[in-house]
């Protein structure tokens, strides 16, 4: 059981979302939310407060009469539940709910305590609101997507429950759940915020971290296959480049390869004075995709780390408007719902992951092209050349998917389009940025799946099973369980999908 207190760490977030750890809310947090709600009700009695007794956006100039303020919140939720496109995956929606819960638990939004209590129940019972991918421009937060979440919280809309898409009202009746109490500004507080882009962003962060781990593994295995020299990932070489990420990647490569019987030591191979050839049979230096791994993956590692920091800050921030301050006995109007921080980080993340994908594609091409590697049959084909095709077809998939990632990496952060009667005259597009970054990440897993199957084939062809490092051997064994060595042609798409799921999970 994990309790929501003052701060929620990314590791706690992972346990709740990915591992299904139950969630609880500290009584201190509930008291804080109640205090904020009570203060706002009293404070709003004789004052003009946006979204409480005014219209919304460019219609904020219109006063709402006391008898209509409650209905106003329902009107906002229903009118903005206008999303289209594919459904967000359950993992993304659950991450969104947890992020919104963390934000509202700060006691700065004035919501009724039933909001955080119902969010907790939905998360714990794995009841997933139907939320669409298209709709948010990322300023005033994720208005459209969060409206679909709010629609469920008022007992309307649809949810995914027990793997079925069903009306919320029916599921609530079965689960004995009650809709939230809408009293002051529950509608506005629920849809004003960056919780969708942040929730998806955190999922992206965890998957990006896994991709980096696999890219380092693959790069190490590639170096073993070609019997590379060890100095390009040495501490001494990488220490003279003053970037922490580069040194961290090099250190991880040294840890991976320390017990490999295939990696050559330059001192013994080329510095011993015994090599008198005029034309060297073996390469003095490897191709960049093998030799420059610390320099390529180093900035990707640092980018992922920075993304994690920004996401954890946003997770524990208040992205609402206006902000209720019991301490100051005041209500502040501003723009904390603006998603620039997340939008920029998602653009940076997808650039980094596209670069990682490109590295994988180039390493794969090295394995496929016998004229380059000089070791392996074309397309790591274990059958009859000309009659069988090995991984030839799968390489097309990896290449085209890499090309798609390159196109998807165009920035969303700089694509602001004014809307909302120009009230929202500059927007972040953070929701789109997070969704597209996720697509780039999923694509990357597909490319790496093709590469890791090819690496396994190469190890079998060269009979290196007992010479690779222990870390390479452990994964080689698991991949071989999914995709045994093959020489006869067969459809590869089931194997690629299975390996992709293995890499992701």
Catalytic machinery residues: 50
Distance CA 194, CA 431 (A): 8
Structure tokens at 118: 């119902």
Give yes or no for a contact between 411 and 349, defined as CB atoms under 8 angstroms apart: no
| Three-state DSSP class for residue 67 | helix
Give yes or no for a contact between 185 and 52, defined as CB atoms under 8 angstroms apart: yes
Structure tokens at 83: 């999303």
Place of tokens 């199957």: 453
Structure tokens at 297: 């993956």
Concatenated DSSP letters for 36-81?
HHHHHHHHGGGS--TTTSB-SGGGTTSB--GGGHHHHHHHHHHHH-
Give yes or no for a contact between 41 and 350, defined as CB atoms under 8 angstroms apart: no
Give yes or no for a contact between 198 and 205, defined as CB atoms under 8 angstroms apart: no
322 cis-preceded (ω within 30 degrees of 0): yes
Give yes or no for a contact between 238 and 250, defined as CB atoms under 8 angstroms apart: yes
Burial tier of 505 (Cβ tally within 10 Å: 0-12, 13-18, 19+) = exposed
Distance CA 253, CA 175 (A): 51
Residue 268 carries which DSSP code? H
Burial tier of 91 (Cβ tally within 10 Å: 0-12, 13-18, 19+) = middle
Name the strand (E) or helix (H) holding 396. helix 392-408
């Amino acid at each position: 059981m994990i309790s929501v207190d003052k701060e929620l760490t990314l590791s706690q977030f992972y346990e709740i979302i990915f591992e299904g750890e139950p969630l609880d809310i500290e009584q201190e947090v509930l008291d804080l939310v109640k205090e904020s709600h009570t203060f706002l009700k009293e404070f709003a009695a004789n004052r003009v407060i946006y979204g409480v007794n005014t219209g919304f956006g460019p219609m904020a100039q219109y006063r709402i009469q006391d008898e209509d303020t409650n209905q106003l919140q329902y009107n906002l939720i229903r009118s903005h539940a206008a999303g289209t496109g594919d459904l967000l995956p359950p993992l993304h929606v659950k991450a969104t709910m947890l992020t919104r819960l963390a934000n509202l638990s700060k006691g700065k939004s004035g919501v009724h305590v039933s909001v955080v209590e119902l969010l907790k129940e939905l998360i714990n019972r794995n009841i997933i609101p139907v939320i669409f991918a298209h709709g948010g421009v990322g300023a005033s937060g994720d208005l459209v997507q969060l409206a679909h979440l709010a629609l469920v919280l008022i007992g309307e809309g649809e949810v995914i429950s027990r793997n079925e898409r069903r009306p919320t009202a029916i599921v609530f009746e079965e689960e004995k759940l009650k809709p939230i109490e809408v009293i002051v500004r529950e509608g506005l507080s629920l849809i004003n915020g960056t919780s969708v882009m942040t929730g998806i962003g955190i999922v992206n962060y965890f998957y990006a971290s896994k991709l980096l781990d696999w890219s380092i593994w693959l790069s190490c295995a590639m170096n073993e296959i070609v019997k590379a020299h060890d100095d390009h990932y040495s501490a001494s070489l990488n220490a003279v480049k003053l970037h922490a990420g580069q040194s961290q990647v090099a250190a991880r490569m040294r840890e991976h390869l320390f017990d490999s019987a295939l990696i050559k030591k330059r001192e013994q191979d080329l510095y011993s004075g015994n090599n008198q050839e005029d034309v060297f049979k073996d390469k003095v230096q490897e191709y960049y995709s093998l030799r420059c791994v610390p320099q390529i993956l180093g900035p990707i590692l640092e980018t992922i780390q920075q993304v994690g920091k920004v996401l954890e800050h946003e997770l524990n921030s208040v992205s609402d408007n206006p902000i209720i301050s019991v301490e100051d006995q005041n209500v502040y109007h501003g723009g904390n719902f603006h998603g620039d921080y997340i939008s920029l980080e998602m653009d940076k993340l997808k650039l980094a992951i596209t670069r990682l994908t490109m590295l994988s594609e180039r390493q794969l091409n090295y394995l496929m092209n016998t004229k380059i590697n000089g070791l392996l049959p074309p397309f790591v084909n274990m059958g009859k050349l000309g009659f069988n095709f090995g991984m030839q077809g799968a390489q097309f998939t990896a290449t085209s998917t890499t090309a798609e990632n390159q196109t998807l990496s165009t920035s969303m952060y700089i694509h602001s389009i004014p809307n909302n009667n120009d009230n929202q005259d500059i927007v972040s597009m953070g929701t789109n940025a997070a969704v597209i970054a996720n697509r780039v990440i999923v694509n990357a897993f597909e490319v790496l799946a093709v590469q890791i199957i090819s690496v396994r084939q190469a190890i079998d062809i060269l009979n290196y099973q007992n010479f690779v490092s222990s870390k390479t051997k452990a994964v080689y064994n698991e991949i071989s369980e999914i995709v045994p060595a093959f020489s006869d042609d067969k459809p590869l798409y089931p194997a690629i999908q299975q390996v992709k799921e293995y890499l992701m999970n």
